[in-house]
Amino acid sequence: MSETIYALASAQGRAGVAVVRVSGQKAKLALSQFMQKDVPTPRAAKLCRLFHPQSGDVLDDALVLWFVAPKSFTGEDVAELHIHGGPAVIEGVLEALSSLQGLRLAEPGEFTRRAFENGKLDLTQVEGLADLIESETEAQRKQAQRQSEGELGALYDHWRNRLVRSLAHFEAELDFSDEELPEDLHNQVIDGVRELHGAIRAHLADGRRGERLRNGIRLAIIGPPNAGKSSLMNVLAQREAVIVSDIAGTTRDVVEIHMNLGGYPLLVADTAGLRNSTDEIEQEGVRRARAWADGADLKLAVFDGSSPTLFDAETLKLLDDYTLVAVNKADVLGDQVPDSLEGYPVLSLSVKSGAGLEALLDQLAVRVKEQCQSQSEGPAPTRARHREALQRCDQALERFLSRDQAIHMGSEFEAEDLRLAARELGRITGRVDVEDLLDVIFRDFCIGK
């Protein structure tokens, strides 16, 4: 019998309401002792006075919810106490719970672990729930919500079931004679696996959109010194986040800010102006600028409209398909800003007057959306863990299919590849071989901390 656990389910600190959750076989006894009467009707809020089970002192007036196993978050009997959210009230209730025999404080993530172990959630749903709690923008919330509802897990389960069926048919071929099996079974298995392989390939070819949306798009502002990169950064941050000056080479460190652009999360970095310098610290700044730009999802190249060279060579070298080009200080240049540069459309910008800023943000929003939005209707993998398992599944299917064409006969060897592929899909949802994954997934999970 697992122990009964309790913990503050809401955040630490003062608030109007705090929620304490109790889960396990002793939850019913604990709740009735707190209420000094029978537990209320399940799944209906009940306002009642809570007493200390030992001293009989009044603890608080609370809204109590009672859930009977298995219809609860953890799948066990669960009591939820919605108490006043002051530190002393919370402390008093937790202390009173600790005074009851057979109850103990939950480990971080333990409620969710029990929900998983009792089959209430699969691993992708657990991750989706964690992402929902972490989500900061609308698009992130939507993705996390879909995942926590089980959309991604259901897809992988469906694929896994198809593979297991193919495997069963394939193994039947090894064990039975041709006369005992339906005609053309072999080809049916191969066709089914080939089709599934294609679907997994397409799912993987999503350009990491799900992962990007979860982590936020990394945007590097690059360009020559004095172009107005830090000035632009401050406008985006809506505060004086970085130092601006007319001395070329002001910014040295990479400074990052989080931004919500039309519901999509953006991590924007202001970087040192790119130039060859003899100053050791500036050299390091330029090195860091290049490194950040190298790992960025998008780059915004800002050129100095007041500079005689305008398009400096160091920045030109870094332009690629994921770069937006802007010429700043249009207030100085006026209509001399060219429309395009080496095939890149050029945005005319004046951070000082605000001209062109809106167009820049619009263009940026389009690019960010492109990088996050799935091209297919279905859900996208949202973690490296999903992608890596899918890649191993893809490789196993690839081996299976290429070998079959060469030999065209079933063998134990080939069945093993199908088994491997199914196992990799199972690892994503936690259907098989999960022990080594559990700790990693639950460790940082904050529900029930």
Ligand X SMILES: Nc1nc2c(ncn2[C@@H]2O[C@H](COP(=O)(O)OP(=O)(O)OP(=O)(O)O)[C@@H](O)[C@H]2O)c(=O)[nH]1
Site residues, ligand X (CB under 6 A): 223, 225-231, 244-246, 248-251, 272-273, 328-329, 331-332, 350-352
Q: Which of the stretches 45-53, 96-104, 246-254, 395-403 binds Mg ion when contact is defined by CB under 5 A? A: 246-254
Q: How far is the CB of 250 from Mg ion (least distance, A)?
A: 5
Q: Which does 124 bind (CB under 5 to 8 A by kind): ligand X, Mg ion, none?
A: none
Which 3 state secondary structure label does DSSP give 329? coil
Q: Which does 52 bind (CB under 5 to 8 A by kind): Mg ion, ligand X, none?
A: none
Of 109, 99, 88, nearest to 56 (Cα)?
99
Of 182, 178, 115, 200, nearest to 376 (Cα)?
200
**Closer residue to ligand X (CB): 102 or 338:** 338
Q: How far is the CB of 111 from Mg ion (least distance, A)?
A: 47
Q: How far is the CB of 287 from Mg ion (least distance, A)?
A: 16
**Closer residue to Mg ion (CB): 4 or 230:** 230
Q: Which does 112 bind (CB under 5 to 8 A by kind): Mg ion, ligand X, none?
A: none
Q: Which of the stretches 89-97, 187-195, 214-222, 250-258 binds Mg ion when contact is defined by CB under 5 A? A: 250-258
- Is the previous residue joined to 265 through a cis bond, with omega within 30 degrees of 0? no
**Closer residue to ligand X (CB): 204 or 244:** 244
Q: How far is the CB of 380 from ligand X (least distance, A)?
A: 36
CB 37 within 8 A of CB 53: no
Amino acid letter, residue 314: E
**Closer residue to ligand X (CB): 129 or 302:** 302
DSSP letters for 231-268 = HHHHHHHTS--S---SSTT---S-EEEEEEETTEEEEE
Q: Does 251 bind Mg ion (CB under 5 A)?
A: yes
**Closer residue to ligand X (CB): 225 or 265:** 225
Q: How far is the CB of 330 from ligand X (least distance, A)?
A: 7
Q: Which does 74 bind (CB under 5 to 8 A by kind): ligand X, Mg ion, none?
A: none
The residues that bridge with 268 in the sheet, in sequence order, are: 219, 257
Residue 417: both structure tokens together = 């590849």
CB atoms inside a 10 Å sphere around CB 3: 13
Helices and strands in the chain: count of H runs, count of E runs: 16, 13
Q: Which of the stretches 141-149, 227-235, 346-354, 361-369 binds Mg ion when contact is defined by CB under 5 A? A: 227-235
Q: How far is the CB of 326 from ligand X (least distance, A)?
A: 10
Q: Which does 249 bind (CB under 5 to 8 A by kind): Mg ion, ligand X, none?
A: ligand X
**Closer residue to ligand X (CB): 64 or 351:** 351
Angle at CA 10, nearest 5°, toward 20 and 67? Answer: 45
Q: Which does 231 bind (CB under 5 to 8 A by kind): Mg ion, ligand X, none?
A: ligand X
- Could you give the CA distance from residue 347 to residue 342 in angstroms, rounded to a whole number? 13
Angle at CA 329, nearest 5°, toward 246 and 235? Answer: 75
**Closer residue to ligand X (CB): 249 or 262:** 249
Q: How far is the CB of 112 from ligand X (least distance, A)?
A: 45
**Closer residue to Mg ion (CB): 112 or 251:** 251
Size of the site for Mg ion (CB under 5 A): 4
Position with the least CB separation from ligand X: 273
Tell me the C-alpha to C-alpha distance, in Å, between residue 349 and each of 221, 241, 273, 325, 330.
14, 20, 18, 10, 5
At which residue do the structure tokens 């079931």 appear?
161
Q: How far is the CB of 305 from ligand X (least distance, A)?
A: 7
Q: Which of the stretches 80-88, 91-99, 223-231, 276-284 binds Mg ion when contact is defined by CB under 5 A? A: 223-231
Angle at CA 260, nearest 5°, toward 257 and 261? Answer: 115
Q: Which does 105 bind (CB under 5 to 8 A by kind): ligand X, Mg ion, none?
A: none
- Could you give the CA distance from residue 103 to residue 19 in angstroms, rounded to a whole number? 17
Q: Does 231 bind Mg ion (CB under 5 A)?
A: no
- Which residues, including other chains, have CB under 8 Å from residue 168's CB and lie 6 or more apart? none
Q: Does 382 bind Mg ion (CB under 5 A)?
A: no
Of 150, 99, 161, nearest to 125 (Cα)?
150
Q: Which does 262 bind (CB under 5 to 8 A by kind): ligand X, Mg ion, none?
A: none
| Mode of pairing for the β-strands spanning 46-51 and 103-105 | unpaired
Q: Residue 29 burial (CB < 10 Å; 0-12/13-18/19+)?
A: middle
Q: Which does 329 bind (CB under 5 to 8 A by kind): ligand X, Mg ion, none?
A: ligand X
Task: Please pick, from the candidates 74, 230, 323, 382, the single residue that binds Mg ion as defined by CB under 5 A.
Answer: 230
Applying CB under 5 A, the residues found at the interface with Mg ion are 229-230, 250-251
